[in-house]
Amino acid sequence: MGEAGWQHFEHGSDVGVRGFGPTRAAAFAEAARALTAAVAELDSVRPETPVEISCAAPDDERLLVAWLNAVVYEMATRAMLFARFEVAIADGRLTATAWGEPVDIARHQPAAEVKGATYTALSVRREANGGWIAECVVDV
């Protein structure tokens, strides 16, 4: 699995976010892009301002929830949307840079507000082809 990407999956009134890529870090980065895409059209977000984000957890699944909730926190407190993520994961600790811009209601036309990542449909796994998938449902 050489390509990275993201997708949404249906889950009741909430939204599932799924990131996939050749590495665990790439899958986490793509899951965060899916999170942004649940709020606004991803292509409308300019990756202009870098923001450092870090979190830690005892396993990959809880690290994904902590990571997505850290992104939600930064989006809410900074009134920003993020389009690009560079993620590194080592020893249960995730460090990242997210690039984005302040929310522009007219241009971004936010469709939803993500309240947080949940443990519903939570999975971080390595596929038989060597690629990684990181997914969970987010509360909107």
| Residue pair 68/138 in contact by the 8 Å Cβ criterion | yes
| Residue pair 103/60 in contact by the 8 Å Cβ criterion | no
Give pLDDT, residue 14: 83
One-character DSSP codes across 106-132: HHH-------EE-STT-EEEE-TTS-E
Give pLDDT, residue 2: 64
Mean pLDDT within 131-139: 96
Residue that wins the pLDDT comparison between 7 and 115: 115
Q: What is the pLDDT of residues 66-82, one digit of tens each?
A: 999 999 999 999 999 99
Give pLDDT, residue 13: 67
Q: What is the pLDDT of residues 95-105, one digit of tens each?
A: 999 999 999 99
Domains of the chain: 20-139 (3.55.10.10)
